[in-house]
Chains A and B, each alone.
Chain A
Amino acid sequence: MSVLTTPAGIATGAADALRRRPGADVAGSAFKWLLIGATVFATGFLAVLLAVMIVDGWDVLSGNLWYFLTHGFSQRSAGEAGVWQGILGSLQVALVTGLFAVPTGVATAIYLVEYAQGSRFARIVELNIRNLAGVPSIVYGLLGLAVFAQTLNGFTGGTTAIAGGMTLAAMVLPIVVITSVEALKAVPDSLREAAYGVGATKWEVLSRQVLPAALSTILTGTVLALARALGEAAPLILVGAATGFMAFGDANVFETFTGPYTALPVLIFNFARQPGADWGANAAAASVIILVLVLAVNGLAIYLRNRFEKQW
């Protein structure tokens, strides 16, 4: 028994175990069930959340879902209000977000992994990305308001879907960079060396070998980033999405990018601020719609990543 006397904590536990019959470890199984309880709580609230939203929004979802999906906002009564402008606005914002965040993010990742690994500039950029990832979303709203909506007014047209999209692009940029860096690092060096060996330039190695090999992972990260942008409301409130409702009229799709806009999560916020049960039902129904949208997009991305994960 002399071995068991070394680290005191382990020894007590070990002596306990030796004394007990196998299968009579009460504390052990209690601990295990406690952990299972915590895990069920951590993941199970999503089911409760969905159930509550479906029940609260049932009148809208079962009765006039089509009307709700295809009509614009109305201040007059909850029954007349729909989420069409929110869905369209979210798609526009997400499009702008993707256009800005994806090229910048992927290019940054390429620079970090393929060109500057370990250099001082790369270390600064990496530190910067890590810090950006922790900046609260509403602070990005201040950036959007002061820089994208006001300073760059000539380009964005003020508090428009373009300014909102650029704001969210800045917010999800760290996500795109971090996932792309991981994707590029996972590509084995033998692929690069083989390409160099047959005389390819660095650009050719990257564009013909490395990027295609990393593409599926990069795409997954991009989709996850856009899903995050889709659910975000706080920065858009500062960049004018809360007060602006799209003027449809004769405006064509491109003109709506530079006019007042709104987004689905901001619309939910607006519903939730109105007093009364029927507005609450609207908020719940719109919550179900955004949950289904975001979870579907995310689930697809996660499924694809696990499916196409390459083992080199």
Chain B
Amino acid sequence: MPQDTSDLSVADLRTSARRRAWSAGARWAFALAALATVLVSALIIWTVASGAWTFISQVAWGSLTEIGWFPRRGLFDLSTLLVNSVQIAVIAMLVAVPSGFGAAIYLSEYAHPGVRKVMKPTLELLASVPSVVLGVFAISFITPSILSNFFSEINFFNKLAAGIAVGLLVIPLIASIAEDALRAVPVALREASSGLGARKVTTSVRVVLPAAMSGLMAAVIVGFSRAIGETMVVTIASGGGDTSLFNLSLFESGGTLTSAMAALGLGTDQVAGSTLAFQSLYFLGALLFAITLVLNMAGDVIVRRLQNRY
């Protein structure tokens, strides 16, 4: 150690080479991990794109618009699956949006802090309910105990029950995004409204909701994307993943993009290499990936814009 400060050089202030090497090594290890997450995305895109390309380059284009989805007979009508997916997702939204928004407004505007403290974690807990369980719930309760009382002609496997169950599954997600959007509205807006003599309901509906509108829209978009991508509920409750004729009835069974993928995955051993059926699995995956990516990015952009506003 130098006694006189005039002898101090920069080198004296450097720590030992070993400690510096550790520090530099750690940096590279962390960067490598970050790179690995990008690699996951790249591999997903490569997997679905190359598989989808094999399918597209070999399939007869006419078979994409035939009467229905019969992959093992070479009939790949996409509209059958797309319509069923959209129908189920729309029903899910009809269940999840009113309930999720209602819960969000209650928790953000009305609930006592103590109630909120209990309900927020409860919603988080609900988000973890496994989707297979909701599928079982749909065929063991929603259809036989509720829907069949109203609609006598309903099929055991039907899109309506699947949509309702998916809706229940998506409620926590929608409620959580919507609540974040409502709480992002500055308190000053509420105070100004109350100060002018507005009732609580007027403040909530005419001031807070419009101010949070873009965030609420994002909640719907992200929820819709999640509903489109939901697999197990639909596979169990709606059936028709293996083969489906085009139909619009909500009381009938119907395969979706996801349940068709699950069905193809279950039969992997039989179809591998034999027909294009196995390759259609990747094509559906690519389609699903593209749809949800666009929806999620749209939701993301809207949320970001909201964050910047206040």
Residues of A within 8 A of B (CB): 3-4, 6-7, 9-18, 25, 27-28, 31-32, 34-39, 41-43, 45-46, 48-49, 52-53, 56, 103-105, 107-108, 110-112, 114-116, 121-122, 124-125, 128-132, 134-143, 145-147, 170, 173, 177, 199, 201-204, 206-207, 224, 227-228, 230-234, 237-238, 240, 242-243, 265-266, 268-269, 272-273, 280, 283-284, 287, 290-291, 294-295, 298-299, 302-303, 306
Q: A42-B102, A108-B36 are in contact. Are A139 and B289 (CB under 8 A)?
A: yes
Sample of 4 more A-B contacts, CB < 8 Å, known A132-B41, A142-B282: A27-B201, A38-B99, A56-B141, A231-B133
Contact in complex: A238, B265 (CB < 8 Å):
yes
Tell me whether A108 and B30 are in contact (CB under 8 A).
yes
Residues of B within 8 A of A (CB): 15, 19-20, 22-23, 25-27, 29-34, 36-38, 40-41, 43-44, 47-48, 51, 98-103, 105-107, 110-111, 119, 121-126, 128-137, 139-141, 168, 171-172, 175, 193, 196-207, 222, 225-226, 228-232, 235-236, 258, 261-262, 265-266, 268-269, 281-282, 285, 288-289, 292-293, 295-297, 300
Asked whether A243 lies within 8 Å of B300 as measured between CB atoms, the reply is no
Pick from A18, A104, A298, A303: contact of B128, CB under 8 Å: A298
CB-nearest residue of chain B to A100:
B36
Q: Assess whether B199 is in contact with A28, with CB atoms less than 8 Å apart.
A: yes
Q: Do residues B292 and A202 form an inter-chain contact, with CB atoms below 8 A?
A: no
Set of chain B residues within 8 Å of A14, measured between Cβ atoms: 196-199, 202
> Which residues on the A side are within 8 Å of B293 (C-beta)?
131, 134-135
Asked if B37 contacts A173 (CB within 8 A), the reply is yes
Given that A202-B23, A269-B232 are known contacts, is A10 also in contact with B168, CB under 8 Å in the complex?
no
Q: Is A227 in contact with B128, judged by CB distance below 8 angstroms? A: yes
Chain B CB within 10 Å — which of A11, A45, A227, A265 has the most? A45
Question: What would be 14 A-B contacts, judged by CB atoms less than 8 Å apart?
Answer: A18-B197, A25-B201, A28-B200, A39-B106, A41-B102, A42-B99, A121-B34, A128-B38, A131-B41, A138-B229, A206-B26, A266-B132, A268-B130, A268-B133
Q: CB-CB < 8 A to B98: which residues of A?
A: 38
- Give Cα A18–Cα B198 distance, bound, in whole angstroms: 9
The secondary structure that dominates the B interface is helix
Q: Are A131 and B296 in contact (CB under 8 A)?
A: yes
In the complex, the answer to whether B130 meets A237 with C-beta atoms within 8 Å is no
When chains A and B are docked, how far (Å) is the Cα of A268 from the Cα of B130? 11
Whether the pair A13, B128 counts as a contact (CB closer than 8 A) is: no
Report, nearest first, the 9 A-B pairs whose CB atoms are least far apart: A38-B102, A136-B229, A231-B130, A13-B202, A14-B197, A107-B33, A134-B296, A35-B106, A111-B30
CB distance from A306 to the nearest CB of B (A): 7
B202 and A9 form a contact (CB under 8 A): yes
Distance in Å from the Cβ of B106 to the closest Cβ of chain A? 4
